[in-house]
Amino acid sequence: MIVFDLRCGRGHVFEAWFASSAAFEDRRQRSFVRCPVCADTGIEKAVMAPNVAAKSNSRPAVTPETVKAALHALATAQQQALEGSRWVGKSFATEARAMHLGDQEQEAIHGQATLAEAKALVEEGVPVAPLPLPVLPPEQSN
């Protein structure tokens, strides 16, 4: 796998992983690579800075408290992003596809999809994004 810094036509920069450079080019040419901010498909590789490791004795230690704080911040940001989004559970793929095809009114939704369902949605051009942390169904939340 290889990670690329990508830039859309509107200047948004983001990272994405691909099996190879050829896989990136194939997906880009088929408009399967979209900007996560604006959904633009005019994607190009951005200039990447090399990852030069620091001396092993000068790297700051990552403490459990730092990790816990980062995960808490991520969970809080995800919760805020999901406000106003409707939980659709395991019918996520069906509802996302229906909205994409115009059979259902557009709205923000979140739910569960299998890997096969998620891949099919991406291949069909349905704009979806994985959540960084698992989301419990509303009836299981505390």
Decide: 26 and 7 in contact? Cβ < 8 Å: no
Distance CA 50, CA 129 (A): 27
Query: Which residue ranges of the chain lie beneath pLDDT 50?
Result: none
pLDDT of residue 55: 65
Structural domain includes residue 91: yes
Closest CA to 113 of 140, 87, 93: 93
pLDDT, one tens digit per residue, over 55-82 is 666 666 788 888 898 888 988 888 888 8
Structural domain includes residue 24: yes
pLDDT of residue 81: 85
Domain count, the chain: 2
Domain extent for 114: 83-124
pLDDT of residue 126: 94
